[in-house]
Amino acid sequence: MAVRPLTGSARNPFRLSPLLFVFGLAVAAPGRATQLPPPVLLDQLLLRTERLVEADDLDAAAEAMGEAFALAEEHELELPLDSRVEHARVAFAVGLLGAAKESVTAYLTVAGREAESYREAVALLEDVDGILERRDAPECSTEPADSGCWMELVTHPGCYVWNPNPQPDETATWTGECSAGFAQGLGTLTWTNPEGSQDNEGTLRFGRSHGESVIRDSEGWVHEGPYLNGKRSGRWVLKFADGAIHEGPYVDGQRNGHWVDQDADGDIGEGPYVHGERDGHWVQTFTDGSVAEGPFRDGERNGRWILRYPDGQVEEGPYLDGEQHGRWVVRPADGETFYVTFVRGVRQER
């Protein structure tokens, strides 16, 4: 029979019209007692759907739900609001993702946050979007993608994880479970390529890291902090193999906010990052007792800086793209002030 899509009408938001339901079937199956009033038939179909779901016969449940939606459309009957969620749940289970998304979206549009099934509906919509996103994004091939791609797990054929930075000849393994074609839950995700390997211990949600994670690299560094939908988000501690430690917040996968960067030799820099680059006023303290203070722009010293040395000497002047450039004033602790000119880091002789 012809498909009869349905959706809510402006006059009655609980009544369905032809934009929501994408796999409605004929109102009456062969042999049905069509002499029953349509409202009774509707209740019968909804009860049948419920029992088929309980019996885990989801294909038949989807068919019965289709008949119910078509019957409601033909006779302008109101369906219980939660029927939309039930329909979305069944459609999702049998792989009809477009139908599931339309139904759950329609429910959320009219239900309100206090509705009984609101949280379930939000979670279901997120599940549907997660799978649709994988269908729309590229899968990793033998050549690294320019951006991220979906990589099939060596340990779980048909199961995928998101690879945000593909490398040549890279593989991925996973110690946890898979669901709906994605690595899910708690486990260790290991990336391996000719340059080495990384172990990411934590939780995956639809193939992406989500929540607290510990990343250990074969080179010896360890990074700890939370992910949000595959991107670093929140406070991280980065411990490098040479002993350096950097600590601060990530936003949307990039360093953003106030960071404290301690290098392997003990020098400490403290200041803001913007979109992954040092940007703003920084104070750098060195193990010999000297202090440098001034602005970074796009990751380089740019603008007027003050350098203070342990012997009391103070130097002040401009940087350009990380190099001293322009007229500097030098104030020795026990001498007369003088001036020095630099051009791209080279001191100019008088």
The DSSP secondary structure of 64-120, one letter per residue, reads HHHHHHHHHHHHTPPPPTHHHHHHHHHHHHTT-HHHHHHHHHHHHHHH-TTSTTHHH
Q: Would strands 280-285 and 291-297 be described as parallel, antiparallel, or unpaired? A: antiparallel
Does residue 10 surpass a pLDDT of 60? no
Question: Residue 307 has what pLDDT?
Answer: 97
Does residue 15 surpass a pLDDT of 80? no
DSSP-based three-state secondary structure for 102: helix
CA distance 24 to 103: 12
- Which residue type, as a one-letter code, is found at position 61? A
Does residue 169 surpass a pLDDT of 60? yes
Give pLDDT tens digits for 266-276: 999 999 999 99
Task: Enter the pTM of the model.
Answer: 0.66
Query: Residue range 111-131: average pLDDT?
Result: 84
Q: How many residues does the chain have?
A: 350
Those residues whose C-beta lies under 8 Å from the C-beta of residue 246, and which sit 6 or more positions away, are 237, 238, 240, 259, 260, 261, 262
Choices 3.40.1030.10, 2.20.110.10, 2.60.120.1440, 3.30.360.10: CATH for 241-350 = 2.20.110.10
Give pLDDT tens digits for 202-248: 999 889 898 999 999 999 999 999 998 889 999 999 999 999 999 99
DSSP-based three-state secondary structure for 264: coil
Does residue 28 surpass a pLDDT of 50? no
173 has which bridge partners?
Answer: 190
CB 280 within 8 A of CB 269: no
- Which residue type, as a one-letter code, is found at position 29? A
177 has which bridge partners?
Answer: 184
DSSP-based three-state secondary structure for 350: coil
Give pLDDT tens digits for 68-109: 888 888 888 887 778 888 888 887 766 677 778 888 888 888
CB 288 within 8 A of CB 313: no
Please choose, from the candidates 126, 133, 123, 199, the residue with its C-alpha nearest in 3D space to the C-alpha of residue 162. 133
Question: Residue 126 has what pLDDT?
Answer: 83
CA distance 270 to 282: 6
Question: Residue 142 has what pLDDT?
Answer: 62
Those residues whose C-beta lies under 8 Å from the C-beta of residue 145, and which sit 6 or more positions away, are 138, 166
% of the chain beyond a pLDDT of 90:
49
Question: Residue 318 has what pLDDT?
Answer: 97
Query: Residue 224 belongs to what H/E stretch?
Result: strand 222-228
Question: Residue 84 has what pLDDT?
Answer: 81
CA distance 130 to 154: 21
Q: What is the DSSP letter of 188?
A: E
Question: Residue 42 has what pLDDT?
Answer: 86
CB 41 within 8 A of CB 71: yes
**Which has more confidence, 127 or 26?**
127
Main-chain phi, psi angles of 113, to 5 degrees? -70, -15
Radius of gyration for the chain, computed over Cα atoms and rounded to the nearest angstrom: 31
Token pair 């992406």: residue:
208
Question: Residue 124 has what pLDDT?
Answer: 84
Question: Residue 21 has what pLDDT?
Answer: 37
What is the per-residue burial (b if ≥16 Cβ within 10 Å, else e) of 159-176? bbbbbeebeeebbbbbeb
DSSP-based three-state secondary structure for 192: strand
CATH 2.20.110.10 in the chain, residues? 241-350
CB 281 within 8 A of CB 294: yes
Question: Residue 4 has what pLDDT?
Answer: 30
* The two structure tokens encoding residue 228: 């949000």
**Which has more confidence, 278 or 6?**
278
CA distance 298 to 321: 9
